[in-house]
Structure formats: C-alpha cells, structure tokens
Amino acid sequence: MSSTDEKRRTILNAATTQFSQYGFRKTSMEDIAREAGISRPSLYSYFENKEDVFRGVSQQLSEDAFRDAEDALTGNRGKLFVGQRVEAALKDFSVSLYRRLHESNHGEELMDENNRLCGDIAQKTYADFEAILAAELEYAMREEYLDLSSAEVTAKEAAEIIRYGAIGLKTGAKDVNHYQKRVERFIRVYFAGLEAPVEA
C-alpha cells in the first residue's frame, strides 16, 4: 500500500470513528483532521468536503465487507457446504454493514445520509456481491452436487433472490442480532434439500 493510500485509510478510519460517535451533522472536517492527526489543509488535499469523506467511508466499508464475503465463499471450499459458505458471506457482507450503521447511537441519521449520498456505491457493491454469489453457486452445481434445477432457478436467479431476500430481511428487524438470525434461517431454509455433503 502506498503512503498516499495509507494516509487516505487513516483519514477514513478517523472519520468512521467520528461519524459513529457524533453522527454526520455534528462531525466537522476539523474533528476528522484532529482524529486523523493531520491538519485541515492536509485533509482537504484528499477530500473536497465532509460529504466526500462520508462517501469515502461508505466505499471503504463496502470494499472491506465485499473482500471478507468473497473469502468466505471461496476460501472454505471443501470445508463447508455451499449453503454454509453463503450464510458466512452474508454475515460478512450484509450483516456487517448493517451492524456498522446500527450499533452507533446515530444509526438512523447515518442510514439517512448513506441513502442520500451513497446510493450508487451500495448499488454497485450489492451487484458485485450478487455476481460472485452466482459464480459460487455455479461452481457448487459443477463440483458439489448442488441441484437448483429442482427449484427451477438458475445460479444467477438464485443469487438475485438471496441478494434481495437479505436486503428485505432488514425491514422490521429489532436489532443486529435479530437481523442476523433472520439471515441464518433464510439461508438454511433456502438451501434445505438442494445440496449434498462434500466427500472428504
């Protein structure tokens, strides 16, 4: 990682802390610069304004969650059934992002700002997640005797259902743990009867 990338990550980590503790509206560029241990002019050399910083935070958190989810899907082949890998990936991706927003006392405000400023980032990240999920389901159909034909869906269609199902399960969730439980049950029901054990 270059020194520029390291400084940018330091700033975004500092901003994440400030937004989580004080919310978007009460956090200033001065607060972020102080938390990052840099001057305001230095901060402005990396980000145009507070909205730009917030988008950077959203992008970084989304990319980190995506990488963790991708590793959960492909890194445990031969160790876990595909349904277990998908469940782990959703916890690393959708649940972890939900947790980031909702464990803050300013979660509702941060969610509103995220919807206002970062809709394009969320859309792209979820589309990328759906794509790697579809690829993993296709792999499982070839290598692990996953049979989606009995449900009359393709791997791409199954991935889309999982993506939007996970998003929909946020509605009415009492807290992060409640949402995670919903995701776990959804995936376990979804894959019941579709997969065969992987031979050692």
The total of structural domains in the chain comes to 2
Going by C-alpha positions, the residue among 183, 170, 26, 161 that lies closest to residue 91 is 183
Mean pLDDT of 106-128: 95
Mean pLDDT of 31-47: 97
Mean pLDDT of 27-41: 98
Q: pLDDT value at position 145?
A: 78
Same domain? 163 vs 71: yes
- Does the structure show a pLDDT above 70 at 150? yes
Which residue is listed with tokens 């889309």?
160
Same domain? 73 vs 141: yes
Mean pLDDT of 32-37: 98
The three-point CA angle 18-20-111 to 5° equals 125
What are the backbone dihedrals phi and psi of residue 37, each rounded to the nearest 5 degrees, phi first?
A: 75, 30
Which pLDDT band, with edges at 50, 70 and 90, does 173 fall under? very high
Q: How far apart are CA 95 and CA 113, in angstroms?
A: 19
- Does the structure show a pLDDT above 80 at 143? yes
Same domain? 61 vs 83: yes
Q: Compute the half-sphere exposure of residue 151: CA atoms within 13 Å on the CB side of its CA.
A: 18
Same domain? 127 vs 92: yes
Q: pLDDT value at position 194?
A: 77
Instruction: Read off the tokens for 74.
Output: 């492909």
- Does the structure show a pLDDT above 70 at 198? no
Q: pLDDT value at position 149?
A: 86
Same domain? 59 vs 75: yes
CATH number, domain of 16, equals 1.10.10.60
Which residues constitute the domain of residue 96? Answer: 50-191
Q: pLDDT value at position 196?
A: 54
